[in-house]
Amino acid sequence: MLTRPEQRTVLSIINEIDTDGHSPLLVIADDFKKYLIKSTHDDKPSYYIINEFLCSYLLQIWEIPTPEVASIKLDPILLTGGTYSDYHKPHFYNNLTFGSKWLEGGLEMEEYIRAQNKVALRKFKNPFDIIRIGLFDIWVENTDRKPTNNNIIFSVDGNHLIINAIDHAFTFDSVKYPDLDGNFINNTYNENILETSLAKDIISLKKKEPDKGDWTNDLKENFYLCTEKCKQNFDTIVQYIPVELGFDSDLSQFVRNFLFDRERNNKVFSEFLSRVL
């Protein structure tokens, strides 16, 4: 069940995480939990931050693990005296922004983590989600998750690893919503998690399963079921995104038309099949 993101206030900043993207701040909020937060850059609409909220909700509906999120308020005075990059100028935090709950003990996906046989596959609690994330990324035009920057974190559950999708600022082709074009698939082969060794291992094992028929049929059914559920819940998602970010009715309609166009979604799945068959 979708819920409105909790609103939290930052108590202290731990440090800035240096990345090729937005270099988020690791903070402690008033629930005494850690969050990674990104600034709005004082943009309105703040497309990158809206993207984060949108994809968090869409992933929840797809039932793909992703960290819990919150609407975060950081008092700009907390930045005083610190040495932070230009991503974190004090006036960038005049409004609420996006926070992703820190996954304690999380492991970044690395090339050496493989699943070349069924024994290795069993160490993952949700191995097939790596394939579904590849499909999701084609659907939302994620330009940032790829073998060189996979944006996947493994959390630990007993003896198993859980695949978590993170960091969705650069989705929707990294363009303003009025500029979205459903006529083309811009998520290229080398910009998709399907090109990682782990994904290729799992696809290979899936193809070898006996008496499973066409293993993509279940994926196709699930894809259209998930997109339909997202469509049914889209108005709720829009209501849950903080109004301060500037996601108005006109912009939400552009996203709606893009995500739920049946002809485009047929192209999305055909494109996906071309990469896994």
The 3-state secondary structure of 8-73, one letter per residue: EEEEEEEEECCCCCCCCEEEEECCCCEEEEECCCCCCCCHHHHHHHHHHHHHHHHCCCCCCEEEEE
**For residue 208, what pLDDT is reported?**
87
**For residue 21, what pLDDT is reported?**
77
**For residue 4, what pLDDT is reported?**
97
**For residue 212, what pLDDT is reported?**
63
Q: What is the spatial distance between Cα 223 and Cα 230, in angstroms, rounded to a whole number?
A: 11
Locate 47 and state its tokens.
């497309």
**For residue 1, what pLDDT is reported?**
86
**What percentage of the chain reaches a pLDDT higher than 70?**
99
Domain coordinates in residue numbering, the chain: 6-101, 107-276
Mean pLDDT of 242-262: 97
125 pLDDT higher than 80: yes
Mean pLDDT of 104-131: 95
Average pLDDT of every residue of the chain: 95
Does residue 240 or residue 21 have the better pLDDT? 240
Locate 161 and state its tokens.
């690893």
33 with 101: CB under 8 angstroms?
Answer: yes
Locate 19 and state its tokens.
């990345």
pLDDT digits (tens, 9 = 90+) for 163-211: 999 999 999 999 999 999 999 999 998 899 999 999 999 999 999 887 6
109 pLDDT higher than 70: yes
